[in-house]
């Protein structure tokens, strides 16, 4: 639960109000100036791409701090990266690259197990497969796009995750958008967590089923919603629902929290709803052997009907997968549009995932996998506890490698980001619309490639900048009040 | 008796008139004479008001008790997640054991491959593989983040600039997957209340984009410009509101479902007459049509600025993966914040972006590869002109040669069975790999199914003769009973 101090809420609202007022003023003057000049040629009779307030946020708020986002890098997204310097001649409206780079500590990329850069086991094998299979098959999976690499990956993946069969796709986003419409259609019901990712929302919308939301990570509210909706039936006709799917994520990327999987599974089993678990951020990153939230929370993979994940985060590749029973996978292979219409996954990327899974399982003959897993767990717990000691408001459960630090005020977003960059630490800041309006944050992603010295340097810089910007909202309380403080953090 | 009643009524009447004449009934309140009838009227009004304020009788609503809800939940039985598995669902596609070039190895045997959209023969090209290797060694495989959060690598920006320079447009934007390009671009520009006119033969990616955009979609007959004109006329005639809404026409350059080519010159005329914007999907025409491979606009001699939005998947002629979208600066900038497939998804792996740059460089340096492709297509057309039972239904310049049955079995399922039979036999007996159309249950396209051959500039003459000969033989035997 996020704690929002009353005074901070007021000041944040005031800042946004001020920015909005200034934005409207500038829009007003822009309209006057444009009206006195001639209308733009060639676009007469065409409605503009964005009318009025539709892109107000983009033009007046986002463009002012554009240099904090989309920073290009000139190296692999490893623990240390070369951030390209950019300059602007027109007050941040357009940014131009220079050829100078600064070496910065990377606390923003999803590189949980450190497979991002060239790896001693994976890269030679990837290059070999590139020379054998070339960079693309130029064909869809059901035509000529299935190579023996793809089959090998699917078997290995099914074994790794603990399900009977698996199917892979070239992009994680497409996996969600194309699978959900196949599993459920009109007459069905999707109940999804309120903070689910955009790809799940898109898939749910594209399916045509009714969509309801339950309070984030709250199994008792889920039970309430299920009881109410099953008793009511479909809207207006009150016919019984054809089927119900509950969609949750393993680790929520903006909160760093683990989902309360055992309780949610027991609720779903009681009411005969199907469960769909999206493990984009948790597969490979949590759990004793890297098998995700099911292993961490002690849930049997057979209890989850469909497990989905991506290869971008922990395996250093690209693509997504679905693991489920053999019949479901067979049906998906027959009808899923992403399987029937999209180019198959690039063979070198497939080989990277195969090698990464082998390293994690220890099948490459070394113990690097176990070392990486232990490393990321230690790093996350160390970093989080240090940040909390310093007085930052840090979200997320222990063992989770994603930790958001709350900023709240819109002006602190560019301040934090730019000051950290000046001291050679690359930070990711997120604001509206990816998060609620008042809850802007800086998100840290820890990697197994970070060494203890890297983390200590990061902590120093963050502490200094935190003092400068003023985000240490909850300084460490004296020992008598420590217990209450811990309770609030739950 | 009667007189007693009469006496009583007279007495009552007298009493009433006395009451009316009483000084109280003649009171003057605020200068208004109060007569007796006013009392009756006031009482009447009071009764009416009283009735109006009473709530009407409604059947009392009883919410379900906990036990009833429990019972309902017990009784409810969901459908299974998947329908029962039928025989045709168990078919497995052939597995390749080498690169998907013009010749590939399936099950240990070498086959002639007409199933990969490797139009320029770039699979296995030395220069591209070298650039990929150096990219892999420098950047690793994945980019580990979306474009907004340190997932923008300098090769992405270089690739965008290269493509924009090649196409002659001001700017372009890269997507990480071919099919997600079009279904992210359409919802970024078309919102609820806009009008979209689309061809009925567009592929699933476009259909999904149209569905997600929540705009009003009107389909016109496949590749029929007359039908398009009628639709545009109907939508804009006398409709004042239409001018305030954004209006789009969505077409593909080379249709995947039929191999037809959209007539761009007529399209641009219509678009300018009715003030619609054009979204053109050039996945199968980029690097194929036009003297230097710049796509449909070059082929028809239309200036590329007239097309508002061009998207293409790079998984075909450029032999990599991913997609791009180009247009004016306004169009491209708008997508950087509002296109969901760009903002919420990890970026393209850097080695694929370097492969794209090398492929575009290769295409610009060797335009002769386009003439080899064209002569291969022409040769294949000649060879397939007399296949029994099948006719060529695609455009003579389309790199997808689409064959459909002369006489349909009556259902597309039956057609598909026959065609898959032909393709399987060709693979097993003659080692020639072609494919039939695949349709998902979600696909709304109703165009006829057929056989698809993807011609590549890397095919040799003997390959083309082999495939025409094999197709002739197998079609003759398989369709003998059916003809």
pLDDT in tens, B327-371: 998 889 888 888 988 988 899 999 999 999 999 999 999 989 999
In the block, tokens 């006329």 appear at: B233
pLDDT one-digit tens code per residue, B279-324: 999 999 998 998 888 989 999 999 999 999 999 999 888 989 899 9
CA dist B164 and B171 (Å) reads: 5
**Buried/exposed code over A471-488 (b: 16+ C-beta within 10 A; e: otherwise):** bbbbeeeeeeeeeeeeee
pLDDT-derived band of residue A489, with 50, 70 and 90 as boundaries?
Answer: very low
Per-residue pLDDT, averaged over B128-145, amounts to 91
pLDDT one-digit tens code per residue, B156-188: 999 999 999 999 999 999 999 989 999 999 999
Q: What is the chain A residue with the closest CA to B80?
A: A243
- Residue A433: asked if its preceding bond is cis (omega within 30°), the reply is yes
Q: What is the pLDDT of residue A55?
A: 77
Strands A306-310 and A274-278: parallel
pLDDT one-digit tens code per residue, B50-87: 988 887 777 777 777 888 888 888 888 888 888 888 88
A133 close contact with B: CB closer than 8 A: yes
DSSP per-residue letters across B227-266: HHHHHHHHHHTT-GGGGTS-EEEEEESB-TTT--B--HHH
User: Which residues in A lie closer than 8 A to residue B182 (C-beta atoms)?
Assistant: none
Per-residue pLDDT, averaged over A116-137, amounts to 89
Three-state DSSP at B209 gives: helix
Distances (CA, A) of B163 to A11, A438, B148, B182, B328: 46, 40, 21, 17, 13
A287 close contact with B: CB closer than 8 A: no
Nearest CB partner across the interface for B93, out of A46, A141, A343: A141
Nearest CB partner across the interface for B129, out of A62, A78, A134: A134
B142–A341 CB contact, under 8 Å: no
Per-residue pLDDT, averaged over B413-438, amounts to 88
Please choose, from the candidates B249, B242, B259, B219, the residue with its C-alpha nearest in 3D space to the C-alpha of residue B309: B249
Q: In degrees to the nearest 10, what's the CA dihedral of A428, A432, A436, A442?
A: 10
pLDDT-derived band of residue B23, with 50, 70 and 90 as boundaries?
Answer: low
DSSP per-residue letters across A55-113: GHIIIIIIGGGGGGSS--BSS-SSSEEEEEEEE-SSTTSS-EEEEEEEEEEE-SS--TT
Q: What is the chain B residue with the closest CA to A333?
A: B89
B345–A172 CB contact, under 8 Å: yes
CA dist B86 and B82 (Å) reads: 11
User: Which residues in B lie closer than 8 A to residue A149 (C-beta atoms)?
Assistant: none
A273 close contact with B: CB closer than 8 A: yes
Which residues lie below 8 Å from residue A224, measured CB to CB, with a gap of 6+?
Answer: none
User: Which residues in A lie closer than 8 A to residue B96 (C-beta atoms)?
Assistant: 133, 137, 144-148
Q: What is the pLDDT of residue A488?
A: 44
**Distance in Å, alpha carbon of B212 to nearest chain A alpha carbon:** 6
| Contact assessment for residue A139 and residue B96, using Cβ atoms and an 8 Å cutoff | no
Distances (CA, A) of A489 to A194, A370, A437, A486: 21, 30, 22, 5
User: Which residues in B lie closer than 8 A to residue A117 (C-beta atoms)?
Assistant: 139-140
B133–A130 CB contact, under 8 Å: yes
**What ipTM does this complex have?**
0.90
CA dist A294 and A292 (Å) reads: 6
CA dist A455 and A381 (Å) reads: 11
Nearest CB partner across the interface for A318, out of B138, B176, B343: B176
| Contact assessment for residue A332 and residue A307, using Cβ atoms and an 8 Å cutoff | no
Would you say residue A490 has pLDDT above 60?
Answer: no
| Contact assessment for residue A119 and residue A317, using Cβ atoms and an 8 Å cutoff | no
Q: Residues A171, A173, A175, CA angle at the centre, nearest 5°?
A: 70
| Contact assessment for residue A167 and residue A154, using Cβ atoms and an 8 Å cutoff | yes
Q: What is the pLDDT of residue B61?
A: 75
User: Which residues in A lie closer than 8 A to residue B143 (C-beta atoms)?
Assistant: 77, 312, 318
Per-residue pLDDT, averaged over B222-234, amounts to 91
Nearest CB partner across the interface for B143, out of A70, A77, A115: A77
Would you say residue B117 has pLDDT above 60?
Answer: yes
pLDDT one-digit tens code per residue, B459-470: 999 999 999 999
User: Which residues in B lie closer than 8 A to residue A62 (C-beta atoms)?
Assistant: 337
Would you say residue A482 has pLDDT above 50?
Answer: no
């Amino acid at each position: 639960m996020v704690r929002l101090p009353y005074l901070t809420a007021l000041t944040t609202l005031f800042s946004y109000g001020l920015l909005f007022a200034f934005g409207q003023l500038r829009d007003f003057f822009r309209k006057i100036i444009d009206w006195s000049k001639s209308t733009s040629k060639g676009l007469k009779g065409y409605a503009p791409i964005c009318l009025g307030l539709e892109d107000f946020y983009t033009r007046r708020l986002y463009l002012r701090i554009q240099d904090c986002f989309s920073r290009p890098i000139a190296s692999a997204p490893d623990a240390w990266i070369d951030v390209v310097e950019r300059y602007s001649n027109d007050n941040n409206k357009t940014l131009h690259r220079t050829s100078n780079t600064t070496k910065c500590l990377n606390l923003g990329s999803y590189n949980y197990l450190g497979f991002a850069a060239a790896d001693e086991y994976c890269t030679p094998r990837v290059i070999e497969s590139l020379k054998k299979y070339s960079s693309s098959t130029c064909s869809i999976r059901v035509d000529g796009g299935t190579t023996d690499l793809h089959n090998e990956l699917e078997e290995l993946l099914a074994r790794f995750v603990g399900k009977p069969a698996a199917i892979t796709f070239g992009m994680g986003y497409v996996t969600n958008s194309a699978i959900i419409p196949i599993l459920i259609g009109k007459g069905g019901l999707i109940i999804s967590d309120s903070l689910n990712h955009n790809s799940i929302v898109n898939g749910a919308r594209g399916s045509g089923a009714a969509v309801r939301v339950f309070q984030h990570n709250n199994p008792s509210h889920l039970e309430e919603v299920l009881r109410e909706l099953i008793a009511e039936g479909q809207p207006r006709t009150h016919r019984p629902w054809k089927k119900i799917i509950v969609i949750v994520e393993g680790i929520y990327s903006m909160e760093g929290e683990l989902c309360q999987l055992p309780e949610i599974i027991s609720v779903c089993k009681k009411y005969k709803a199907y469960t769909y678990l999206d493990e984009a951020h948790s597969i490979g990153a949590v759990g004793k052997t890297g098998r995700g939230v099911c292993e961490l929370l002690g849930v049997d993979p057979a209890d989850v009907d469909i497990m989905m994940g991506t290869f971008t985060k922990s395996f250093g590749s690209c693509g997504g997968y679905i693991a489920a029973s053999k019949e479901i996978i067979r049906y998906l292979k027959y009808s899923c549009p992403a399987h029937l219409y999209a180019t198959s996954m690039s063979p070198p990327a497939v080989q990277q995932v195969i090698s990464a899974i082998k390293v994690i399982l220890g099948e490459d003959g070394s113990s690097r996998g176990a070392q990486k897993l232990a490393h990321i767990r230690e790093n996350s717990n160390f970093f989080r506890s240090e940040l909390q000691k310093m007085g930052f408001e840090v979200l997320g459960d222990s063992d989770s490698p994603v930790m958001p630090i709350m900023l709240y005020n819109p002006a602190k977003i560019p301040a934090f980001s730019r000051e950290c960059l000046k001291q050679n630490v690359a930070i990711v800041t997120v604001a509206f619309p990816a998060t609620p309006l008042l809850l802007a944050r800086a998100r840290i992603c820890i990697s197994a490639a970070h060494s203890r010295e890297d983390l200590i340097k990061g902590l120093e810089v963050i502490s200094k900048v935190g003092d400068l910007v003023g985000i240490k909202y909850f300084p460490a309380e004296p020992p008598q009040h420590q217990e209450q403080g811990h309770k609030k953090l739950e | 008796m009667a007189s007693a009643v009469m006496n009583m009524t007279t007495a009552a009447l007298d009493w009433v008139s006395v009451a009316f004449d009483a000084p109280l009934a003649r009171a003057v309140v605020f200068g208004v004479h109060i007569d007796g009838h006013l009392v009756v009227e006031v009482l009447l009004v009071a009764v009416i008001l009283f009735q109006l304020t009473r709530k009407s009788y409604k059947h009392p609503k009883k919410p379900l008790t906990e036990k009833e809800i429990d019972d309902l939940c017990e009784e409810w039985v969901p459908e299974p997640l998947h329908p029962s598995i039928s025989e045709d669902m168990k078919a497995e596609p052939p597995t390749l054991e080498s690169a998907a070039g013009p010749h590939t190895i399936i099950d240990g045997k070498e086959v002639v491959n007409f199933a990969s959209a490797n139009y320029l023969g770039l699979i296995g090209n030395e220069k591209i593989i070298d650039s990929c290797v150096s990219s892999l060694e420098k950047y690793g495989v994945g980019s580990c983040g979306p474009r907004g959060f340190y997932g923008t690598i300098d090769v992405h920006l270089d690739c965008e600039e290269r493509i924009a320079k090649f196409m002659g447009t001001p700017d372009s934007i890269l997507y990480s997957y071919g099919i997600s390009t079009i279904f992210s671009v359409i919802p970024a520009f078309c919102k609820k209340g806009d009008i979209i006119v689309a061809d009925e033969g567009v592929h699933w990616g476009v259909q999904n984009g149209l569905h997600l955009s929540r705009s009003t979609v009107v389909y016109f007959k496949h590749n029929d410009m007359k039908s398009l004109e009628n639709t545009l006329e109907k939508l804009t005639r006398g409709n004042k509101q239409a001018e305030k809404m954004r209006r789009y026409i969505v077409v593909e350059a080379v249709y995947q479902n039929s191999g037809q080519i959209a007539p761009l010159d007529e399209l641009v005329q219509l678009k300018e007459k009715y003030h619609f914007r054009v979204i053109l999907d050039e996945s199968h025409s980029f690097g194929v049509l036009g003297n230097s491979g710049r796509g449909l606009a070059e082929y028809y001699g239309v200036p590329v600025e007239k097309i508002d939005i061009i998207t293409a998947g790079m998984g075909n002629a450029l032999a990599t993966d991913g997609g791009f979208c180009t247009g004016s600066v306004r169009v491209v900038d708008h997508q950087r914040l509002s296109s969901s497939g760009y903002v919420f998804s990890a970026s393209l792996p850097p080695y694929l972006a370097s492969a794209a740059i090398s492929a575009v460089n290769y295409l610009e340096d060797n335009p002769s590869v386009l003439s080899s492709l064209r002569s291969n297509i022409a040769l294949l057309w000649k060879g397939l002109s007399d296949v029994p039972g099948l006719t060529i239904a695609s455009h003579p310049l389309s790199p997808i040669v689409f064959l459909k049955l002369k006489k349909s079995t009556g259902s597309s399922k039956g057609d598909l069975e026959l065609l898959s039979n032909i393709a399987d036999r060709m693979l097993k007996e003659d080692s020639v790999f072609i494919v039939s159309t695949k349709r998902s249950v979600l696909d709304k396209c109703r165009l006829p199914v057929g056989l698809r051959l993807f011609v590549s500039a890397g095919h040799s003459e003997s390959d083309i003769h082999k495939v025409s000969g094999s197709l002739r033989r197998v079609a003759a035997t398989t369709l003998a009973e059916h003809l």
